[in-house]
Structure 1
Amino acid sequence: MKGLISVAVDVYKKVSRVLWVILFANIAVALLKIVVGSIIHSASMTADGFHSMTDGSSNVVGLIGIRLASKPVDKDHPYGHKKFETLTGLFIAGMLFFIGGKIILNAISSFMKPVAPNITIESLIVLIITLCINIFVSVYEYNVGKKLGSQILISDSMHTRSDIYVSIGVLATLVGVKLGLPPIIDPIASLVVSGFVIYAAYEIFKDNSGVLVDKVAVDTEKIRDIALRFDQVKDAHDIRSRGSANDMHIDMHIMTEPYMSVEESHKLIHSIEEQIRNEINANAQVIAHLEPYSSEIEV
């Protein structure tokens, strides 16, 4: 158990460092879009900039969540504080739902009084640069999140990934206006932006809420197959799993020969736990209930 706690603390430190790097990158991208969007009077680029700003604010929320989640086990929290990471993911989803609604309202306002954006080569270059930064940030953050099993990094990368599609839409809008399309295409693009934002919020909400409601974390048959590889195990049932990649809990009932000693049973359980951690999740906490096996003879 102490080994798992030590690993978790190291993971949270790595997640925190990544969030700090991503925070500064997101702030730079957001300010660039907002300033340029305001100068050229582009509702879609300005909306994209505020969306990027939520990336930075979600990083701050993530840093707070990681600090809370990394707290050690105490009397009031015998299972630790890891679900603060899940709550942080839900908070990020809420932020995205809010910003998506705000973009829709701004788009409706722009429909009433559409303004043709003042497009320059410089603004297009800025948009392309920020798009490249977002692609790097999203891929890097997602890969590290998967490697570390961090819900916050994965959620935040999904948030940033929506920026990529949004920026592509804004870029297409500016080029379209430059080619002679009517200014109303700009608020239309803003509605598309809101669609991506709300979809990202839904994906983040779905992933994190699954952890809170104890959705199945591992295929039951996979766990059963591992247990049955051991000769002493005659059957395995009532298998359950819950949690996230870095806080997984598995419990099951294992049937063995009734003559096994306590020491033999203890070694068997530890062997099964180790095999599950090797094949499924290194952070899995396994609880196995032993039952005596008796074959039924049909008369």
Structure 2
Amino acid sequence: MDNNYKEVSKTLWIILFANFLVAIVKILVGNIVMSASLIADGFHSFADGSSNIAGLIGIKFASKPTDKEHPYGYEKFELLSSLFISGMLFFISGNIVMDAFKKLFNPTELNISSYSIIAIILTLIINIIVASLEYKKGKKLNSNILISDSMHTKSDIFVSLGVLFTLISISLGLPNIIDPIASFIVAGFIIKAAIEIFISSSRVLVDKKALDTRKVRKVLDEYLEIKGVHNIRSRSTGKKIFLDLHMLLAPDMTIKTSHDLIHKIEEDMKENIDDKIQIIAHFEPYYKDKK
């Protein structure tokens, strides 16, 4: 496992323990005060921790070196883990909605105390720290799993704010019906996070265009040796971007010159577009009088 994946794995372990701590506190306090929204929020936090486990498994596979059967590597396993997280969130949100419906037609008297409100505030602070750390690490390490999971944790912050508002509102005398309504809102945040994770991961898995073709052409236009370019295609594995294209060059250009040219172009694109680019070029002879 290279240093990049080691850092991702280390971050996931730290956040795993933080998420489980937050989840346990919320579920325990939620059962004490009989709050459906707080219990739902606790399971949301528990899902954050479970997603970290899925991420650790994905990273274990994604960090494997290339081999004969997988010449492009195993990096997309990280994206598969993100899709697993997305599916798990859809399942959990469904359970929360069902429980909220039960509470809606069979409301339960809540036993709200200052301790429950303090517990929510403390877990909210932890969530803010966790989401911020995970997102920054994800950007620094270019880790799809960390960025996806931080989106999930970030939604937990808004969910916790909603639950906190619910508990305070009920303690001030508002009806208990607010509790299951808040659970529906919790489920909505979870579904939103699941959809965002699914879309961002599936784009890479189905080889969606990874680069803006106009930016590629802008770099190539600076090279007088290139007489034309077509069939520009790009895709990503999450960690690398593969760009392949057809280039028209002078028919008498030597193999060494064309080889040096493509390496120069690759370095130029890494500097001006993305440092993860790897170019595969197909050279074609250019004839001035050819139509």
Query: Which interval holds the TM-score relative to the shorter structure?
Result: over 0.9
Q: What secondary structure does 1:230 align onto?
A: coil
How far, CA to CA, are the matches of 1:67 and 1:245 in structure 2?
A: 15
Displacement, 1:96? Answer: 0.5
Which residue in 1 is equivalent to 2:107? 114
In 2, Cα distance between the equivalents of 1:249 and 1:205?
22
Mapped partners of 1:105, 1:247: distance in 2: 42
Q: 1:144 to 1:68 in 2, by over 3 A?
A: same
State the shift of 1:245 in Å: 4.4
Equivalent positions of 1:216-231 (< 5 A) are 216-231=209-224
Question: In the TM superposition, what is the alpha-carbon distance from 1:292 to its structure 2 partner?
Answer: 1.7
Alignment of 1:46-61 (within 5 A): 46-61=39-54
- Determine which of 248, 253, 256 is the counterpart of 1:255: 248
Matched, 1:203 2:199: no
Q: CA deviation at 1:296?
A: 4.2
Q: Specify the alignment match of 2:166 in structure 1.
A: 173
**Number of aligned positions between the proteins:** 291
In the alignment, is the contact (CA less than 8 A) between 1:245 and 1:281 conserved in 2? Answer: no
User: Shift of the alpha carbon at 1:133?
Assistant: 1.0
Q: SS of the counterpart of 2:2?
A: helix
SS in structure 2 at match of 1:233:
coil
Distance 1:296 1:106 in 2: 74
1:230-278 CA-to-partner distances (Å, cap 9, x unmatched) read 2212222211111144121111111222221111000001111111222
User: What is aligned with 2:72?
Assistant: 79
- 8 Å CA contact retained: 1:11, 1:148: yes
Q: Please, which of 239, 243, 249 is the counterpart of residue 236 of structure 2?
A: 243
1: CA distance, partners of 2:170 / 2:201: 40
Contact 2:241 2:276 survives alignment (8 Å): yes
Q: 1:263 to 1:297 in 2, by over 3 A?
A: closer
> Are the aligned partners of 2:204 and 2:237 in contact in 1 as well (CA < 8 Å)?
yes
Shift of 1:10: 2.0
Q: Give the secondary structure class of the aligned counterpart of 2:208.
A: coil
Letter in 2 for 1:109: K
Unpaired runs of 5+ in structure 1? 1-7
Are the structure 2 counterparts of residues 69 and 297 from structure 1 closer, same or farther at C-alpha, using a change threshold of 3 Å? Answer: closer
Matched, 1:11 2:4: yes
Residue 88 of structure 1 corresponds to which residue in structure 2?
81
Letter in 1 for 2:234: S
Greater shift in the superposed pair: 232-241 or 85-94: 232-241
Q: In the alignment, what sits opposite 2:262?
A: 269
Rounded to whole Å, the distance in 1 between the matches of 2:2 and 2:225 is: 36
Distance 2:126 2:247 in 1: 51
Q: CA deviation at 1:293?
A: 2.0
Pick aligned residue for 2:227 from 215, 231, 234: 234
AA aligned opposite 2:97: I
Distance (whole Å) between structure 2 residues aligned to residue 245 and residue 82 of structure 1: 7
How big is the alpha-carbon RMSD for the aligned residues of Structure 1 and Structure 2? 1.4
